[in-house]
Amino acid sequence: MVSIQLLAVKGDHCYVTALFICEHLDIKTPLKFVVDTGTIHTTLPEAKAREIGVDLEKLETYKVKLKMGGIGGGSDARMLGGVRLAFNATNGTSVEEELQFVHVLRNPPARDEEDRKILATFPCLLGLDIVRRFTLRFPEKHFAYLER
Amino acid sequence: MATVTVEKSDLDKLTEFTKNTHWLLKNIESLRSKYAGRYVAVFDSGRQLLDAESMEELTSKIIRYGKSPETCAIDFVTREPYLLIL
């Protein structure tokens, strides 16, 4: 069995870390994800995408434009293809998952300076495209697990 | 077929990032009184912390400290708890 540990802080979301690998952009860097069963596709916010070296302007010229919405409003998104995520498994090995694409979500308008700063560190979202490949279990108070 | 392989050094980097991230997520409330309105970076498995007014300033501080920003857990400490509705 393969098991990936998630941090489940009381009163907060479940978080997991993974190496984000995009070969054609020469990106291989650790990222923090909120485990989000309400998101179909794994998603990177604009600020994080830019930070790791994704040029959104180039994406716009050859990738499909998408409209995305949540309870707080809507925003445009782009698709970034050829992505892998590598997780640390609890047995000391790594678990690699390929994704045909992830979404890169444009920042929504910030209401104030604090909003702008929050958006700069907004977490990535681990969507159902990955979560569905595992069973999500909550056997412990502070940790959950993706297992298969 | 994947050509970029995940090396042990990559997984070590991920492990360090994970330790820093866990520390920050668990301790964000206790940081609020001192660091509200500032960016913080946690490194050395949660044993070291830097703060700054802006992300650019924080990144410069991390590099001056001889650390790699990508293994640090970085967040903005809001003045009030901030909940995500996803």
- For the stretch B31-54, pLDDT in tens is 999 999 999 999 998 899 999 999
With the C-alpha atoms ordered A24, A25, A29, A35, is the resulting torsion angle positive or negative?
A: negative
Distance, CA of A75 to CA of B14 (rounded, Å) = 30
A146 part of a folded domain = no
A82 part of a folded domain = yes
Distance, CA of A123 to CA of A4 (rounded, Å) = 19
- For the stretch A13-54, pLDDT in tens is 999 999 999 999 999 999 999 999 999 999 999 999 999 999
Split at pLDDT 50, 70, 90, the class of A77 is confident
Distance from CA of B56 to the nearest CA of A (A): 11
Closest to A28 (Cβ–Cβ): which among B4, B18, B74? B4
Contacts of A13 in chain B (CB under 8 A): 84, 86
- What tokens does B33 get? 């009184």
Give the domain extent around A35.
12-132
- What is the residue-averaged pLDDT of chain A? 89
8 Å CB contact of B21 and A88 = no
Q: What CATH number has the domain bearing residue A97?
A: 2.40.70.10
Asked if A96 reaches chain B (Cβ–Cβ under 8 Å), the answer is yes
Asked if B60 reaches chain A (Cβ–Cβ under 8 Å), the answer is no
Distance, CA of B29 to CA of B25 (rounded, Å) = 9
Split at pLDDT 50, 70, 90, the class of B59 is very high
Length of chain A, in residues: 148
Sheet strand arrangement including B73-76 = B48-52, B39-43, B73-76
CB A16 within 8 A of CB B18: no
* Number of domains observed in the structure of chain A: 1
What does the H/E/C string look like for B38-63? Answer: CEEEEECCCCEEEEECCHHHHHHHHH
Split at pLDDT 50, 70, 90, the class of A64 is low
A4 part of a folded domain = no
Contacts of A9 in chain B (CB under 8 A): 25-26
A139 part of a folded domain = no
Distances (CA, A) of A17 to A20, A129, B72: 9, 16, 12
Closest to B18 (Cβ–Cβ): which among A17, A38, A72? A17
Neighbours of A40 (CB within 10 A): 13
Q: What is the ipTM of this complex?
A: 0.90
